[in-house]
Amino acid sequence: MKKNYLNAIVILCIFLGITSLLVFFINFRHHSLSVESSDWGAFGAYVSGLVGTIFSFISVVLIYFTLNGQNKNFYQQQFEASFFNLLSAQKDTILKIKEAYIYEGYSGYGKDLYLNSHQYIYTFSNELKRKISECKNIDTLEKISHEEKINKKFNYLLEMGEYQLSHYFRNLYHIVKFVHESNIVDKKKYIDIIQAQMSDHELYITFYNGISKFGNERFKPLLDQYQILENIQSRDKAFEIHKKLFYPNTNFKHS
């Protein structure tokens, strides 16, 4: 884009220069060549002024593009520094999940579990899948009905873990929002980096966090817009219904 602008400006300056010289010659075409040095001095001053003006204009344009490019590079560097710091903080958020409680009812033993970091996310994901699959009338296509059931199950598990995952979801939302509100041109590039850092279990619980009351209004539109959940592995019939109902703009790669 920058190169195109510069080419256009150079062509414009050449055009103006040639046009100015043509105007001069047309004006004095009926006069013979002067032998007076003063006349040639005046012509030289005319050409010098013309060329000087054009080159001054080009210089100003080049300075503008240089400063503009430096500002963009500085902004890019500042953005990336903040972005990767936020990603690092997100990893720390997972590691700080300590002794989170969850009832592993599907094990058949009814034992209580106190899990840390990724263990907790893995178990939360599996327990959420189990509870949602237990919902009645799963075939209904009424969004409100599904939202009510998902909110009930999702909030129940969050509460059992003393809402330790809430910080994870808030931080993830702010990273995506940070990219969304930036002036970076290739936003999808950074969204893909966020997605690449997430396990399938993280994608799954984020999928339902977006549908729940905690992320439905602000987070889910961004998840859908940037295809953040596109690589999530298909789970079951309920999941297939929910992705069609709540993420219509996401092109899921696995079904």
Mean residue pLDDT across the chain: 81
As a whole number of angstroms, the distance between CA 255 and CA 246 comes to: 15
At 45-69, the pLDDT tens digits run 666 666 667 667 667 766 766 666 6
As a whole number of angstroms, the distance between CA 30 and CA 45 comes to: 21
- Output the six-digit token pair for 58: 């080009």
Of residues 181 and 21, which shows the higher confidence score?
181
Determine the pLDDT at residue 34: 56
Of residues 112 and 168, which shows the higher confidence score?
168
The answer to whether the predicted template modeling score (pTM) of the entire model surpasses 0.75 is no
Work out the end-to-end distance of the chain between its first and last CA atoms, rounded to an integer number of angstroms: 40
Q: What is the DSSP string of 132-154?
A: HHT-S-TT---HHHHHHHHHHHH
As a whole number of angstroms, the distance between CA 55 and CA 59 comes to: 6
pLDDT confidence bin for 249, thresholds 50/70/90:
very high
pLDDT over 70 percentage in the chain: 68
Mark 190-217 as b/e (b = at least 16 C-beta within 10 Å).
Answer: bbbebbeebeebbbbbbbbbbbbebbbe
pLDDT confidence bin for 16, thresholds 50/70/90:
low
- Output the six-digit token pair for 5: 């602008």
DSSP state of 109: S
Determine the pLDDT at residue 143: 82
Determine the pLDDT at residue 106: 44
pLDDT confidence bin for 22, thresholds 50/70/90:
low
Domain ranges of the chain: 2-25+44-90, 96-246
At 86-145, the pLDDT tens digits run 999 999 999 988 877 776 554 444 456 778 889 999 989 998 998 888 877 777 777 888
As a whole number of angstroms, the distance between CA 64 and CA 110 comes to: 69
